[in-house]
Structure 1
Amino acid sequence: MSRFVLITPSSEFEQKVRLAVAGGLQGHVKSLPASILTGDMDALLEQLALERPEVLLFGPGIPVEDALRLAVVVDVKFPEVSVVLVHDDHPEIALQAMRSGVRDILSPLADVPSIRAQLERACQASASRQRTAEQHPGQKQSGLVIGVFSPKGGVGKTTIATNLAVGLGKIAPMSVVIVDLDLQFGDVATGLYLNPEYSVLDAVSGAATQDSMVLKAFLTAHPSGVYALCGPRNPADADRVTSEQITRLLQQLALEFRYVVVDTGPGLTEPSLAAMEQCTDAVWVTGMDVPSVRGLRTGLDVLHQLNLLPETRHVVLNFADTRTGLSVQDIEATLGAPVNVSIPRSRALTLATNRGVPLLQDKVRDPATKSLTELVQRFDHAWRAASQRKLHRRVVVR
């Protein structure tokens, strides 16, 4: 058995991989010649079955179409294997790779420490899928569906949703999708500086409802390695999307992605309520002002009466500022729930939003970056497993 299988004609890249593994990863590397991709597919699959790798790397010098063709088969035959494609990062290639089952893309110019870090991450993802398969034999495990909600508009909900998606993309590259369910005036495309060809309306119609490959064709790749399903261009098209279609859409995406981030419109609309029923986690966003805090409290009370509250709650205080006359304790007392993450008012965050480049994409040094990272960490499976008792700890305004 080999923990890593590498297919490449590049001896230079092979040497870097071997140095990366020897420098801190257990297991060894099995190198296969690039010519094996043009030979007997059954023989290649038998070789992989014999090696049982955790990570399969398609190194530089391999035609992309050959690598992606095998990736599709490996994704079906050996779903626990993390497939890594070594290629220049490009949205079109990334989208094709995602549809083929590739879990990560590695630059051919990556240095040894970067290769080691990505291999370690790929091994962790493989181990997680292996545990899931053992716990739920024959059953495909759904990813987390994280809804971002607020009864009031203007609290920075889309900014938080886009940063959350980009941050999760660093934990699980190519395994994150953000869905814009503010169907009339959604801003996910603007927040990510995207010009999508397709929208939610395309994804809930026709063959996409039955075929995940067709559904993935309607996603838009983002340079950070996440995917977006944006809202319709015409606000009138919102009426053409039903609650039943939203339910089906989120169920499909949860089977294909490790994380599904749902940005909802303000208020308790039908699309938001339909999404809420599918969410494993709800991120509740409030500003540091009386109307938004009271609006959130009223919304939570209504949802509690309807028994629609997702199992896991994360309360985010946005635009936190001690000069507003309110304290975190005041807000917690009004909500009847602890604030989990406090994001300070930030010029850098506002600038990033206006540029369409999420703060976590550029790694800007700012207090808001630290707070957004804390929010992202709450959805890291390893962190959640170790910190369940601390999910509702008190925060302070910085």
Structure 2
Amino acid sequence: MSRFVAITAVRDFEGRVRQAISGALHGELQTLSPDVLKGGPDDVFKQLNGAPPEVLILGPGVAPDDALKLATVFDLQFPEVSLLLVAEPSPELVLRAMHSGIRDVVTSEIGVNDLRVLLERSCLASASRRRGMSAAPESGQERGRVIAVMSPKGGVGKTTVATNLAIGLGKVAPMSVVIVDLDLQFGDVASGLLLEPEHSISDAVHGAAAQDSMVLKAYLTVHPAGIYALCAPRTPAESDYITAAHVGRLINQLASEFKYVVVDTAPGLGEHVLATLEQATDGVWVCGMDVPSIRGLHKCFAVLRELQLLPQGRHTVLNFADRKSGISVQDVEATIGVPIDAVIPRSRTLPFSTNRGVPVLQNNSREPASKGLKKLVERFDPQWVAAGHHKLHRRVVVS
């Protein structure tokens, strides 16, 4: 069996592939002419030496439409094969490629070292999918907690709360936490955590990652604090290709792999937010200390009760708390009809840490805002819950 198959007539590129494989990757390279595509996928299968390869490279020299047609068939019949497209990438082509099951789109000018890394990563992904297909599913596997961080209006510090919550939970359960940026048009989780992600949620909901949780993990970005992140699309236009069904399936996949899935949602109650609530075990509602935010949260609770989408775990956070605002915590609780579980006082340090991309809980700060965030994290700590603290609600005083 040839571990690598390249359909190309460009000898220079073929030589670079052989250089990338030689001395670093085990396996042989089989090269096919682009003419083989004229007879359709069946003719390609006849040309292969033995079983399907681990990595199939389409191009250069292959028409993109022909490459995508072949990739679609391979993705359906041999989902364990990693598909690579060599072409001049454009946003439209990348999206079409993802829908066809192609793992990466690269230019024909890619260097030998970068090509070696790409092929090695593709082989690892292929091996993971093979193991996933051969392994029997574990019965009774415990599902992780899905925590939807929400607010009816923007500008209340929802992303700051979500990123700090994920960092705090990372100390409770290292490498068992993933934060998902579901503000698909203008998400800020990447900047809030000082990340430059190679992949986004657009990659994760299409192609092989949507079928295999092991492959999905390869699309996550690792944060130095010991958590994973799945960041928002690179452009707002990509959000049009992500449906509520995609979101539901993605969250269900992550919940089967991680102890905590923190979802930073977009403001309001759009279809993606409702799809998240259908999977959520907990909801964290962030409210500012202003009348529009408070009334918005009251309406939000009323709508979700009517839709029967209120998660079993409910946690309400009052952000930007300030006694000079003319509104007390008791006033907020009376309006929204539920107790406030965590209060985050107005702080100069918190915006500064957000702008730096370093959450305050990452630095173990002792300022009042970090204390409020730690109280929120404690509500998800099994030891804290086992001690019975979750049954208590103490009246909060804003200093």
TM range (shorter): 0.5 to 0.7
User: What is the letter of the counterpart of residue 237 of structure 2?
Assistant: A
Mapped pair 1:327 → 2:328: yes
Aligned partners of 2:286 and 2:317 also within 8 Å = yes
Deviations 1:131-174 (A, max 9, x none): xxxxxx93110011001000000000000000000000001100
Indicate the SS of the match to 2:263.
strand
| Structure 2 match to 1:305 | 306
Deviations 1:191-229 (A, max 9, x none): 001111111111111111121110000000101010000
Aligned partners of 1:340 and 1:394 also within 8 Å = no
| Structure 2 match to 1:243 | 244
| Structure 2 match to 1:228 | 229
| Structure 1 match to 2:75 | none
Alignment of structure 1 residues 370-385 onto 2, 5 Å = 370-385=371-386
| Structure 2 match to 1:156 | 157
Aligned partners of 2:379 and 2:390 also within 8 Å = no
In 2, Cα distance between equivalents of 1:254 and 1:172: 14
User: What is the letter of the counterpart of residue 175 of structure 2?
Assistant: M
User: What is the letter of the counterpart of residue 184 of structure 1?
Assistant: Q
User: What is the letter of the counterpart of residue 343 of structure 2?
Assistant: S
Following superposition, the deviation at residue 390 of structure 1 comes to 2.1
Indicate the SS of the match to 2:191.
helix
User: What is the letter of the counterpart of residue 387 of structure 1?
Assistant: G
| Structure 2 match to 1:369 | 370
Mapped pair 1:275 → 2:276: yes
| Structure 2 match to 1:219 | 220
Aligned partners of 2:384 and 2:390 also within 8 Å = no
Alignment of structure 1 residues 381-392 onto 2, 5 Å = 381-387=382-388, 390=391, 392=393
Indicate the SS of the match to 1:315.
strand
| Structure 2 match to 1:209 | 210
Aligned partners of 2:166 and 2:179 also within 8 Å = yes
Q: Which runs of 5+ in 2 are unaligned?
A: 1-120, 126-137
Aligned partners of 2:329 and 2:340 also within 8 Å = yes
Q: How many residues align structurally?
A: 266
| Structure 1 match to 2:58 | none
Q: What is the alpha-carbon root mean square deviation over aligned residues?
A: 1.8
Alignment of structure 1 residues 1-398 onto 2, 5 Å = 138-387=139-388, 390=391, 392-398=393-399
Indicate the SS of the match to 2:267.
coil
Following superposition, the deviation at residue 239 of structure 1 comes to 1.3
In 1, Cα distance between equivalents of 2:232 and 2:392: 31
Change (3 A) 1:393 1:250: farther
TM-score (norm 1): 0.65
Indicate the SS of the match to 1:263.
strand
Moved over 6 A (4+): none
In 1, Cα distance between equivalents of 2:262 and 2:393: 21
| Structure 2 match to 1:134 | none
User: What is the letter of the counterpart of residue 316 of structure 1?
Assistant: V
Q: Which has the larger radius of gyration?
A: 2
In 2, Cα distance between equivalents of 1:350 and 1:160: 11
Following superposition, the deviation at residue 383 of structure 1 comes to 1.3
Following superposition, the deviation at residue 382 of structure 1 comes to 1.7
Aligned partners of 1:180 and 1:186 also within 8 Å = yes
Indicate the SS of the match to 1:145.
strand
In 2, Cα distance between equivalents of 1:262 and 1:381: 20
Q: Which runs of 5+ in 1 are unaligned?
A: 1-95, 101-136
TM-score (norm 2): 0.65
